[in-house]
A and B are shown apart, each in its own frame.
Chain A
Amino acid sequence: MEITAGYLPEMNNETIEYREIIYSYNGLTAKVKVPQLSPQQLSKIMSIVKANAHILKSFSVSELVAIIDQAIHILLDRQSKQRRLAETWLPIITGYDQEIIRTGLTTFLQRFRKHELQRFLVEDFGNPQLLDDFQPLVKGGYSKAVGADVTGHIWAGNVPGLPLWSFISALLVKSGSVGKTASEEPLFAGLFADILAEVEPKIKNCFAIVTWKGGDEEREALFFEGCETIIAYGSDQSLASIKQRVPVTSKLISHGHKISFSIIGKESLHMQKAVETSHLAALDLIRYDQQGCYSPQAIFVQKGGLITPGEFAKYLAHELSALEIRFPRRELSIEESASFIRNQQREEMSLFAEENKEIISDENGRWIVIYKDHSSEFLPSVLNRSIQVFAFDEIDEVLEKIKHYKKWLQTAGMSTSPENVFLWSQKLSLHGVTRMTGIGRMTSPEAGWHQDGGFSLADLVKMTDIEASTLELAEPLSAYSN
């Protein structure tokens, strides 16, 4: 099987070279051809997108919402050609189970339907017409939100669909986009660009989805130079390298790797509730095998419920074992396998020293639950369905364990009483957590979420003001002035 990824605007008489990336999964092999642009060609593409930015700006924000909504519905339609492509290719490329991808894509794409996009806009702007025209301000004067001509995206990782967050955000603020895909998943962004161009041919030259080897200084210098705003995803290390090279006049928004966790209050540990709670918690961690920034790396379980935290760990192990049959884990490379087992063996070796620790694991290394009492330290997980369960009495014990990770924290999945939701959120917010959600929902953030504490849309525009004095001075100058 062979497919061409990426999306290029119209370029006259250019010969584009393609590089092949081979993926294999479950005995299936996929050959993905990604455009390999010369620095000159990349430069040319940047200019084309920039030159066409005015076309996006000529659409009203509601017209753009309608275009995106139409494109999303094509992807939601399981019979559409594009949806079938995504369902066929993404499992091979990313290695995630077909069912996980199918259900994950649908949940994910629903976030971008018209009514959700409208919420997204209202969330950041209050009045979305700010994007179309100058709007009156309460303090006097007028403001307009202006998106960049070109927003650059550097995507990373293999969680399918993630590039859509920033791509759609840029479109909503009427900004052209040049996106660099990751070799772990080079397909989906280009596929979406194709659909957009099909839905509204007028905007076909307003974006490009390309790729190059991360760290390629020549191409990246051209890219950074050509973008007013850059949204970059990746490890702290690669983001630090990008930060050094982005010109001061460009805006860099970076999303590094994150740590998320769940907290389960004793209220949700009644006999019947506990089964449901453990099921939801297990779902959060089998979805994309904990690879998402919002995926839980540890579960803190409160003592004092009918089910003890130790028993909860067993419930969780049971759920993981059952879910493994329906949604098997991605096949791991030798490196990942070795890492997974090294971690397991290390935990097993310390059982002697840490008496209250318990380890429940699958004999073929497909998942592991490590139960630790409150005295143990929390270290990030090795992922791929490796979860640590910690017992706690008071929320402060949780805070104590996460405090070293403040700069990396993101989502806290919760299952507790409304009173605790606010009490705990208050404290967690001071420790760096930027998103609270119900357990079972950790991997599907709501439309309009503040990813890593930022504004998805508002951060992409320049607010442009007409101060009241401008009009005061202008009034007497009108032709019809008395």
Chain B
Amino acid sequence: MTQKELIASIQQFIHDEHSHDFNELALQLFRYQFEHNLPFQRFSKQKRKTPRNVKNWRDIPSVPIQAFKDVPLSCISTEQAEATFMTSGTTKHIKGKHYHPTLTVFDSSMITNFKKRFMKEQKAIKMGILFPDHEEMPNSSLARYLFLAKAFFGTPESKYTLSGNGINFELLLEELKTAQQSGEAYALLGASFSFVHLIDYLQEKQLYFKLPKGSRILDTGGYKNQSRHVETGEFYTALKTHLGIEKSDCINMYGMTELSTQFYDDGNEEIPSVKSGPHWIRTRVINPLTGLDMPFGENGVLVHYDLANFNSALSILTEDLGVETDKGFQLLGRVQGSEQKGCSLAVDEFLRYAKEES
């Protein structure tokens, strides 16, 4: 299959769940990536997994997210990519790179899913974006994501309320006031750590808003190194207190630079919330040693199979800890570097020291 044909099939599948079979499409994609990405091919061969013997999507070798830092994971020459999304990686300043030959698939994946999970089929809402725009951050998949949200679902009055200089509080307060007075639902979207900065500001100034019914929040990502750490429960309580938005209208998006599809929960009344994705992405909770599924209800490491990842690797081994539930999975945080048991200096500890020194 050519890239063009694959893209067409995936696009079709995104729009119509019944147009293809997930397993078949995954196997076609695996064959394509195996043939066109030599580092991945060598990796798969080492695991004795080839298109010849892999018959089920679960057996497609998972690429660790670290690999996006170490090797070019792409089926085309990386110079030809329309967009390259990079992780914010801190270790020795090496960033993971995700090459997108075209953004069509990423875009339709985002738009189709966002419409269903955040917009709940509503056509448009006035938005405030707590994140720099995509021209300021061309290598950020989140900037692209928020740009699409605003472009496709934001009313013309929607605005970016954050730039390289930080949150534009003057503008944001004005927007919040207007929303409160107009009675028109308002959506605030951005990185979780920016919300923490906002909460801190509102707390300090003792400001309380009651945003109109239908208003909602979308936050994503953690707080690491960007703001103080806040417990999830406390975070959503503070948003309710200061913005008057119910926890059930606060949606947390779980996405990764290494993926082309996002997961959502249905509000954060109960935490940890249950996350799920659309039909073109599947998730397994595995025992990392054996690669087998953990028994239902037991913690394991998340592996995602994202058909929208047509150019890199469709199966991604994350560093996220999770547990399967009836309707999806709960995210339990990052798998921490393992605790030292004995008195030998292991690589995890060594790298921590190296990181502190750099």
Give chain B nearest CB distance to A468 CB in angstroms. Answer: 44
Please name all residues of chain B whose beta carbon is closer than 8 Å to the beta carbon of A427 when the two chains form the complex.
none
Q: Answer whether residue A229 sits at the interface, using C-beta atoms and an 8 A cutoff.
A: no
Q: How big is chain B's contact interface, by range?
A: 35 or more
Would A382 and B321 count as touching, CB distance under 8 A?
no
Q: A349-B64, A352-B39 are in contact. Are A335 and B336 (CB under 8 A)?
A: yes
Closest A residue by C-beta to B44: A348
* A189 to B288 CA separation, bound complex (whole angstroms): 35
- What 1/0 mask marks residues of chain A from 249 to 293 whose CB sits below 8 Å from any chain B CB? 000000111111000000000000000000000000000101111
Within the complex, which residue of A159, A351, A352, A363 is in contact with B343, where a contact is CB–CB below 8 Å? A159
Q: Which of A97-105, A144-152, A339-347, A430-438 contacts B (4 or more CB under 8 A)?
A: A339-347
The interface residues of chain B lying within 8 Å CB-to-CB of A260 are: 344
Q: CA–CA, A379 to B353, complex, Å? A: 13
| Beta-carbon contact of A258 and B344 below 8 Å | yes
Kindly identify, within residues 348 to 383 of chain A, every residue whose CB is under 8 Å from any CB belonging to chain B: 348-353, 359, 363-366, 379-383
A34 CB, min distance to chain B CBs, angstroms: 18
Q: Which A residues, 190 to 231, have Cβ-Cβ distances below 8 Å to chain B? A: none
A-side contacts of B67, CB under 8 Å: 345-346, 349
Given contacts A333-B338, A341-B288, contact A352 B344 (CB under 8 A): no
**A342 to B235 Cα, complex, angstroms:** 31
Interface residue B1 (Cβ < 8 Å from any Cβ of A): no
- Asked whether A257 lies within 8 Å of B341 as measured between CB atoms, the reply is no
Taking a contact as CB atoms under 8 Å apart, the answer to whether B335 and A257 are in contact is: no
B151 within 8 A of A: no
Q: A291 to B340, alpha carbons, bound, how many Å? A: 8
B34 to chain A, nearest CB (A): 13
Q: A338 touching B335 by the CB < 8 A rule?
A: yes
Report the bound CA distance from A78 to B285 in whole Å. 44
Residue from B289, B343, B348 with most neighbouring chain A CB atoms (10 Å): B343
Please, which residues of chain A bring their CB within 8 A of the CB of B71?
349-350, 352-353
Question: Does A382 lie within 8 Å of B347, measured CB to CB?
Answer: yes
Q: Which of B288, B337, B341 contacts A158 (CB 8 A)?
A: B341
For A, the interface residue count at a CB cutoff of 8 angstroms equals 53
Contact assessment for B346 and A381 in the assembled complex, using a CB-CB cutoff below 8 Å: yes
**A408 near B: Cβ within 8 Å?**
yes
Contact of B340 among A235, A342, A346, A365 (CB under 8 A): A235
Given A335-B337, A352-B43, A359-B46, are A291 and B343 neighbors across the interface (CB < 8 Å)?
yes
- In angstroms, Cα B278 to Cα A301, docked, is 52
Choose from A162, A295, A340, A379 the contact partner of B289 (Cβ within 8 Å). A340
Instruction: Give the interface centre of A159, A260, A297, A341 by most chain B CB atoms within 10 Å.
Output: A341
15 residue pairs from A and B, CB less than 8 Å apart? A236-B353, A258-B343, A259-B344, A291-B344, A293-B343, A333-B338, A335-B339, A336-B338, A337-B289, A345-B62, A345-B317, A349-B67, A353-B39, A379-B347, A383-B346
7 other A-B residue contacts (CB within 8 Å) besides A257-B345, A260-B344, A352-B42: A157-B343, A257-B349, A292-B342, A339-B348, A342-B288, A379-B350, A380-B345
